[in-house]
Amino acid sequence: MATVSFSSDWSQQQSGDIRAGETLRIEYATDRLCQCRATRYGQKAWSIRVNLKFHPSGQEQAGDVSSGNCEVNVPANTSRIELWFNNTDHTGCSTWDSRYGQNYWLDVKAAG
């Protein structure tokens, strides 16, 4: 399984080839987005979501990386993945990690 890591020093690393039709693991250092951290009744009331758009189909998926990682299935016939992160909490706070609106892009190899 391929893994893409987004580290607290704002670097990005990839291990293994991302392949269409296979699983991709996304590891995310939650301190990259630490502005929206409200609690409610003593409980965590925030989340960090990874949004993915698969090209060329335009199919979209989302996952929760609040715990630091998630796994997503890469659809068949995908050649590139566009992704960005959004941190929100129950107060309405919202902040983004999207390479200043350019989003992150990952190349995908054909299945096989």
The per-residue DSSP string of the chain comes to -EEEEE-TTS-EEEES--BTTSEEEEEE-GGGS-S---EETTEE-EEEEEEEEEETT--EEEEE-TTSEEEEEPPTT--EEEEEEEEEETTS-EEEESTTTT-EEEE-BPP-
Contact call for residues 77 and 61 (beta carbons, < 8 A): no
pLDDT digits (tens, 9 = 90+) for 4-28: 999 999 999 999 999 999 999 999 9
> Which one, of 10, 54, 7, lies nearest residue 26 by Cα?
7
pLDDT digits (tens, 9 = 90+) for 25-71: 999 999 999 999 999 999 999 999 999 999 999 999 999 999 999 99
Is residue 112's pLDDT more than 80?
Answer: no
pLDDT at 4: 98
| Interval 87-98 mean pLDDT | 97
pLDDT at 111: 84
Contact call for residues 26 and 56 (beta carbons, < 8 A): no
pLDDT at 93: 98
Q: Determine the Cα–Cα distance for residues 4 and 27; give it in Å rounded to an integer.
A: 6
pLDDT at 102: 97
Is residue 106's pLDDT more than 90?
Answer: yes
Q: Determine the Cα–Cα distance for residues 101 and 109; give it in Å rounded to an integer.
A: 25
pLDDT at 110: 92
